[in-house]
Amino acid sequence: MRRNPKDVRFDDLCRVCVKFFGEPRKTGSSHRIYRTPWEGDPRINIQFRTAKVKPKHTRLNRFFWPLRSWRLAVTLQNDRYTYRVTWSEDDNEYVGLCAEFPSLSWLARTPEAALRGIRRLVAEVVEDMAANGETVPEAIALRSYSGKFVVRIPPDVHRKLAIQAAESGVSLNRIAGSKLSQ
């Protein structure tokens, strides 16, 4: 498409648009209109002409900025991962971290640059994992929690908590939960 924009088949361009923008919002005529995720909500409108796309519509390549960058932008836009930026005294820079990807980090001079860097790195890793058929970690924020988990504690601590609960007139779970939330 980039090498020869005058000889692009309509069906080929439609397949590319569906892959990157989803199903067209308008079909049934000579036009296909696709929504894009970019600011200002621009549309891509392509028109059928004897099995080839009109040459002016292939100039839409400006919308197909390097597709890797676009996919990263969409991944970042839909990013629900948990990030933290902290100062690293050892590196004398800010470090961006992602809870779902503990092996990744990004160093930068400013906290904003560290956050931007780790988000972009996570987007690249997610894209690479998806392309290779690997399981992408679910964002912590999207997980559902039952409110139950098992904690093993020494018997004397268990006894102390049970006594405190009895003296307060509440359940052991209530005492443990209030202590954990402090």
**Is the confidence at residue 66, as pLDDT, over 50?**
no
**Is the confidence at residue 56, as pLDDT, over 60?**
no
Residue 29 lies inside a defined structural domain of this protein = yes
Considering the domain architecture, whether residues 74 and 139 belong to the same structural domain is answered as: yes
Euclidean distance between CA atoms 71 and 81, whole angstroms = 17
Beta carbons within 8 Å of 6's beta carbon, 6+ residues apart: 55, 58
- Region 163-172: mean pLDDT is 91
Residue 2 lies inside a defined structural domain of this protein = no
**Is the confidence at residue 26, as pLDDT, over 80?**
no
**Is the confidence at residue 111, as pLDDT, over 90?**
yes
- Kindly report which listed range (73-77, 146-150, 176-180) carries the lowest average pLDDT score: 73-77
Residue 5 lies inside a defined structural domain of this protein = no
- Region 162-176: mean pLDDT is 91
**Is the confidence at residue 58, as pLDDT, over 50?**
no
State residue 85 phi and psi, 5-degree precision.
Answer: -120, 130
Domain that holds residue 115: 66-144
Considering the domain architecture, whether residues 58 and 114 belong to the same structural domain is answered as: no
Distances in Å between the Cα of 122 and the Cα atoms of 3, 11, 103, 118, 141 are 31, 33, 11, 6, 16
Percentage of the chain with pLDDT > 70? 72
Residue 97 lies inside a defined structural domain of this protein = yes
Tell me how many domains the chain contains.
Answer: 3
**Is the confidence at residue 152, as pLDDT, over 50?**
yes
**Is the confidence at residue 138, as pLDDT, over 60?**
yes
Residue 45 lies inside a defined structural domain of this protein = yes
Considering the domain architecture, whether residues 72 and 127 belong to the same structural domain is answered as: yes
Euclidean distance between CA atoms 101 and 118, whole angstroms = 10
Domain boundary among 23, 38, 64: 64
Residue 179 lies inside a defined structural domain of this protein = yes
Considering the domain architecture, whether residues 138 and 150 belong to the same structural domain is answered as: no
Distances in Å between the Cα of 11 and the Cα atoms of 14, 31, 59, 106 are 5, 12, 16, 42
